[in-house]
Amino acid sequence: MNVLVVVAMALAAISSLGVVLSRQTIYSALSLVVTIAMISVLFLLLNAQFLFAVQIIIYAGAVMVLFVFIIALLSPDAEDRPGRDWRAVVGLIAVAAVTILVFVAAGNGVTYNSKGFRATQLLGSCTSLNAGPCDPYRTFSYPVDATNAAGNVQTVAGQLFTTFLLPFEITSLLLLVAVIGAVYLTRRGVER
């Protein structure tokens, strides 16, 4: 199980680099598709089956297709060298710093509760952060997934249509607005 996770994560990371560093636009798009696929595998491995499907269908299936179409339409053989200036340096520093920091912080049990960001105090005798007195969160490794006991789709649907009904309806409104906006923005024959 862990091997799959590691592989998915590694591929996601590598293909994200491909998105950014590819010279040709179309290659960036294809790399992004790979990244999305790997991420959806991660979702699956994290017991979020519904999101796995949604990610494939919407992101890789609709959004990226749209991207590829537009690339083909506008500039199929567009080339765009990644810039090498001070901004690239800023980006590199950001990648290194943030990644390391987040990793280390997560590893040391940094959590955010009502008192803000706090490093939880660990007992000196702790060797593992599993359930018990050494647990800064409730548990640090994958716990038993009691939430999805009834099946992931049912659980998600149950919450989506009850507790989160309002955001759900608003997203439908959002989609309507997006459609209208897209249609309006791409009218022909209007002088701007």
Partner 1 sequence: MISTGLFPYMLGLSAFLFTVGATGVLIRRNPLVVFMCIELMLNAGNVALIAYGRFLNSVEGQIFAFMVIIVAAAEVVVGLALITQIFRLGRELDVDDISEMSE
Partner 2 sequence: MSVDTASALVILILLFPLAGAALNAVLGPRLGRGFVNLAGTLSIGAAFVVACVILGNVIAAPAGHSAVSVRLWQWLNLGSGNLSIGMDFTLDPLSALMVMVITGVGFLIHVYSVGYMEHDPGVARFFAYMNFFIFSMLTLVLAADLIILIVGWALVALSSYLLIGFWYERASAVLAARKAFITQVIGDVALVIAAFLIFLNAHTLSLPNIFARTAAFPSGGILVNGICALLAIGAFAKSAQFPLHTWLPDAMEGPTPVSALIHAATMVTAGVYLIARFHPLFNLAPIAGGMVACVGMGTALMAGIIALSQIDIKRVIAYSTMSQIGLMIYAVGIGAYSAGMFHFATHAVFKALLFMAAGNVIHSLHDEQDIRLMGGMAARMRWTHWAFLSGSLALAGIPLWAGWFSKENLLGFGTVAGPGPAPWLLYMVGVGVNVLTGLYAFRLWATVFHGEPQTARVYAAKEARNVLLVPVVILGVLSLIVAWPLQWPVPNAVRVFSDFLSPVFAGTPAGLASEPALWIAIVALVIGTLASLLGVGAAQRMWLHREPDPAAVAARLPRALPLLSYNKFYFDELYDAAFVRPVRAAARTARRVVEPDVFDGWIAGLTDLLRGFSVDLRAYQTGFIRDYAAAFTVGAVVLVVVTAVFLSR
Please give the residues from 99 up to 118 whose contact with partner 2 meets the rule CB under 8 A: 101-102, 104-105, 110, 116-118
The reply on whether position 174 binds partner 2 by CB under 8 A is no
Q: Are 38 and 10 in contact (CB under 8 A)?
A: no
CA distance 4 to 39: 12
Question: Which structure tokens are listed for 174?
Answer: 């959002």
Give the side-chain half-sphere CA count within 13 A for 159.
9
Q: Which does 74 bind (CB under 5 to 8 A by kind): partner 1, partner 2, none?
A: partner 1
Q: Is the CB of 63 or the CB of 119 nearer to partner 1?
A: 63
Question: Which structure tokens are listed for 120?
Answer: 């939880």
The reply on whether position 157 binds partner 2 by CB under 8 A is no
Stretch that binds partner 2, among 26-34, 94-102, 124-132, 136-144 (CB under 8 A): 94-102
Q: Are 87 and 56 in contact (CB under 8 A)?
A: no
Distance of CA 152 to the CA centre of its chain: 19
The reply on whether position 20 binds partner 1 by CB under 8 A is yes
**Near partner 2 in 26-85, by CB under 8 A:** 83
**Near partner 1 in 132-151, by CB under 8 A:** 137-143, 145-148
One-letter identity of residue 179: V
Tell me which of 82, 91, 143, 151 binds partner 2, using CB under 8 A. 91
CA distance 15 to 34: 6
Min CB(83)–partner 2 separation in Å: 8
CA distance 156 to 50: 8
Tell me which of 6, 17, 72, 93 binds partner 2, using CB under 8 A. 93
Q: Does residue 166 sit in helix, strand or coil?
A: helix
Residues in contact with partner 2 by CB under 8 A are 83, 86-87, 90-91, 93-94, 97-98, 101-102, 104-105, 110, 116-119
